[in-house]
Amino acid sequence: MAQKRFELGTIESRIKGGKISQQRRREDPEKYRKSGCFTRKEFVTPPYSTELAEVIGIILGDGAISGYQIRISLDRHRDRKYADFIVDLMGKVLGEYPSYREREADNTIALRISGVGLVEILEKLGMQRGDKIAHQVSFPQWIRENLVYSTACVRGLFDTDGGLYFHKKKKRTYLGWCFASFSDPLLLDVMSTLQKLDFNVKKSGAHKLYMYSLESISRYFEVVGSHNPKNAVKLELRRGARVV
């Protein structure tokens, strides 16, 4: 008895079948998810807002964008509470909450959202995938042109790539404010925003900005603000440590 042969079809017919399958997945993704099939996650482009501008600042600071994923890396000891804030903020703004993983090997907290669609949305919002330093990233134009948005973006950047520090000089303890970036355009965007807000910010070296006046630092937290609790702790310590 002759065996029945199964024809695999031509290349053209397989391409056509693949396109039909993709179209059906787009039309009824829930059906394919329930059946265990992989489907591309759908994301909605968020409207411009201070919350979105702050998320952009966080990604420009301690984040990375690959071809299919957004990653935020934080210190697992100093930024634990701040990581919780970021999870809630990104869930609200981007429509999906990041996964949360603590890594003892390098003492970090890794937050991740996977989705090619989300990466594409961020690119439309002015972000770039790949090495931030190689690209010399800067504020997206819609943020740079709006002082309210650029202020929120600075908040996200400072909470990740900046911080308060104590230093001693002539037996007195001083409180300092510092932001660092190896992207020259990004550093200039932060400096320009703070100058528009009438802050006396100074550039030291090629990659750092400083504020030394306690009055300026206190005003920064009134005008720009911070969502990273470690900064609030240092502000409180200044009162009991004779910080000037």
Q: What is this structure's pTM?
A: 0.80
Q: How many domains does one find in the chain? A: 2
Q: Are residue 143 and residue 164 in the same domain, yes or no?
A: no
In terms of domains, do 126 and 182 share one? no
Shared-domain flag, residues 186 and 225: yes
Residue 239: per-residue pLDDT: 47
- Would you call 88 helix, strand, or coil by DSSP? helix
Residue 75 lies in a domain: yes
pLDDT, tens digit only, all 244 positions of the chain: 555 444 555 555 555 555 565 555 544 544 555 555 555 688 999 999 999 999 999 999 999 999 999 999 999 999 999 999 999 999 999 999 999 999 988 899 999 999 999 999 999 999 999 999 999 999 999 999 999 999 999 999 999 999 888 777 777 777 889 999 999 999 999 999 999 999 999 998 889 999 988 888 889 999 999 999 988 777 666 545 544 4
What CA–CA distance (Å, rounded) separates 213 from 244?
8
Torsion sign across C-alpha atoms 92, 137, 107, 164: negative
Q: Which residues of 48-72 are buried (b: 16+ CB within 10 A; e: fewer)?
A: eeebbbbbbbbbbbbbebeeeebbb
What is the distance between the alpha carbons of residues 72 and 112, in angstroms, rounded to a whole number? 6
Contact between residue 200 and residue 216 where contact means Cβ atoms under 8 Å apart? yes
Answer whether residue 12 is part of any domain.
no
According to the model, what pLDDT value does residue 42 have?
85
Last residue of a domain, one of 112, 147, 182: 147
- The three-state secondary structure class of 47 is coil
> From CA 81, how far away is CA 159, in angstroms rounded?
12
Nearest alpha carbon to residue 75 among 99, 97, 103: 103
Domain containing residue 80: 50-147
**From CA 58, how far away is CA 160, in angstroms rounded?**
6
Domain assignment present for residue 94? The answer is yes
Q: Percentage helix, strand, coil, to 5, in the chain?
A: 50, 20, 30
Q: What is the pLDDT of residue 26?
A: 47
* In a shared domain, residues 58 and 141: yes
Count of CA atoms in the C-beta half-sphere (13 A) of 129: 16
Q: Are strands 99-103 and 69-75 parallel, antiparallel or unpaired?
A: unpaired
Q: Are 74 and 90 in contact (CB under 8 A)?
A: no
* Position 36 in a domain: no
- Residue 165 sits in a domain whose CATH number is 3.10.28.10
Plot region of 240 (φ>0 → left; ψ -120 to 50 → alpha; else → beta): alpha
Q: Are residues 131 and 205 in the same domain?
A: no
Q: Using CA atoms, how far apart are residues 124 and 58, in angstroms rounded to an integer? A: 17
Please indicate, yes or no, whether residues 137 and 222 belong to a single structural domain of this protein: no
Domain boundary among 147, 169, 186: 147
**Are 219 and 193 part of one and the same domain?**
yes
Structure token pair of residue 204: 């030291």
Token pair for 52 = 């979105």
**Residues 128 and 209 reside in one and the same domain:** no
Residue 6: what pLDDT? 44
